[in-house]
Amino acid sequence: MVRRSALTFSSRLGAAAAILSGWVAFRGPSPWPPPWCVRNQPDSPAPFLRGGSPPLCRTGYCFLHLVYVVRDAAGGARRDVGWGAAELPSWRYCVACPWRRGHDGPVAEHDRGSAPVRLLGLSHPRPLAGGVASPSVVRADWSGRDVVVKRTSPAELAVLRLFADLDEPMLPRLLASGVDGGGPWIVIPFHDGRAVDLMGEPPAEVHHRMGRLHARFHGRTDRLADALEVIDPAFVRRGLAEFGTEQLRRARDVIGESLYARGCRLLAALADDEAFCAAADGFDRTLLHGDLYGLNVLQPSGREPLPLIIDWGAARIGPAMFDVAMTTGYDSAGRRAHDRGWAEISGAEPDPEENELAHAWSTALISAMFAGTVAARSSAADGEQLIIAAEDSVQRFRRLHAVRQTSAPCVSGS
């Protein structure tokens, strides 16, 4: 009796899905997924999160996955996690999901980490100790495995899905992910290593691995353009005139009026410097971490033999030296390790002249933008050191840029 009722319900649902598929076909494809669609990961260790699309789910929109999930759930073969979407070849979301479930609706700010926990059936959720605390990040147990569940940005979600195809250690491995009313979420393994200090330099092996990653995506960022911000002249002006100035204002009581005024003059001068801002378009671009400083690198531990590069929420597209310059100088073991990693993938080390120019430019931009942040989180002395580094790096960039302009070949018309 129960089985017949389940089949009858499934048949009725199948008819509804068929009508819906016709409506969607008439309506045409939508460029945005509805917020209640959950995108499954085919590499997830949880069987109920794997794709399992029926044969007809090959058009980019999954019209029958809704029925497929319900039939499996009725038969007891798969856990019913809601009206999910299969992982489709075209990387689109399922639009055949008109019924919202409670765990897929809008999530209150204080409850942002709990929806994925309930969805996946995780146990013992608890705050994540160490690093920068956030209510959107929790630690939990998943079938005996120690994991981290995080509400994240579309940028980090896109990048971590991309990493699933790479055989590179030190990058987070995505176990599961999705998008619901609270936004994107991810599940990654827990790493028990301590973070490098705020002002500390990551190990050279981190730069080596980043060099490999930079080389892999050098000139191949088109597929990421919709998900990631590009470091272009507009980004530079905004970072200096808005973000940098606001961070300096927040640290005003810490650094004092004299250093505050000095920092404001520097930010304003760089934001108005057309040559400095336009230089962003002159460098080769690749995939960047975007925030590669000490607290985003976990050190090896007894259980973890390698460092882990975490928090890819600020991932961007820009010059490779932007990541390098955030924590190490140009004449450093870290930068040389980066170039060796680059050569392992590309077959040759990057152009040293462009690298030195890009490093000077990146150091000036990063130091000016984050002087206020560092002063507030560390000390006025560290903030002052960044202002000094920015001033020195601007001069170095201008010298190198002038030499490069002078040595550029001239082409005369006939």
Q: Which CATH number fits domain 204-407: 1.10.760, 3.90.1200, 3.40.50, 1.10.490?
A: 3.90.1200
Q: Please give the model's pTM, rounded to 2 decimal places.
A: 0.73
Among left, alpha and beta (phi > 0; psi -120 to 50; other), residue 319 is beta
Query: Any residues with CB less than 8 A from the CB of 126 and at least 6 apart, and which?
Result: 138, 139, 140
Q: Which helix (H) or strand (E) holds 184?
A: strand 183-189
For residues 115 and 103, the answer to whether their CB atoms sit within 8 Å is yes
Contacts of 315 (CB under 8 A, 6+ apart): 155, 156, 158, 159, 228, 287, 288, 289, 290
Can you tell me the distance from the alpha carbon of 195 to that of 218, in angstroms, rounded to the nearest whole number?
28
* DSSP characters over 315-372: -EEE-THHHHHTTS-SSSHHHHHHHHHHHHHHSSPPPHHHHHHHHHHHHHHHHHHHHH
Per the structure block, which two tokens stand in for 235? 């980004």
Delimit the CATH 3.30.200.20 region(s) of the chain. 123-189
Nearest CA to 176 out of 74, 313, 16, 51 is that of 51
Tell me which of 2.40.37.20, 3.30.200.20, 3.20.20.140, 3.40.640.10 is the CATH number of domain 123-189: 3.30.200.20
Predicted confidence pLDDT, tens digits, the chain (414 residues) = 444 444 454 455 455 544 444 434 333 333 333 333 333 333 333 222 233 332 222 223 333 333 223 223 333 333 323 333 333 222 223 333 332 222 233 333 334 456 788 878 889 988 887 655 566 889 999 989 999 999 999 999 999 999 988 888 899 999 999 988 888 999 999 998 999 998 999 999 999 999 999 999 998 988 787 889 999 999 999 999 999 999 999 999 999 999 999 999 999 999 999 999 999 999 999 999 999 999 999 999 888 889 999 999 999 999 999 999 999 999 999 999 999 999 999 999 999 999 999 999 999 999 999 999 999 999 999 999 999 999 999 999 999 999 988 876 654 443
pLDDT of residue 114: 61
What's residue 227's pLDDT?
A: 84
Side chain identity, residue 163: F
pLDDT given for residue 167 in this prediction: 86
pLDDT of res. 113 = 52
Is 397:276 a contact under the CB 8 Å cutoff?
yes
Name residues whose C-beta falls within 8 Å of residue 179's C-beta, 6 or more positions apart in sequence: 33, 35, 37, 38, 39, 93, 157, 185
Q: What is the pLDDT of residue 120?
A: 84
For residues 50 and 227, give the distance between their C-alpha atoms in angstroms, rounded to a whole number: 24
Cα torsion angle, 189, 105, 316, 292, sign = negative
Residue type, 347: G
CATH 3.90.1200 boundaries in the chain: 204-407
Q: What is the pLDDT at residue 71? A: 27
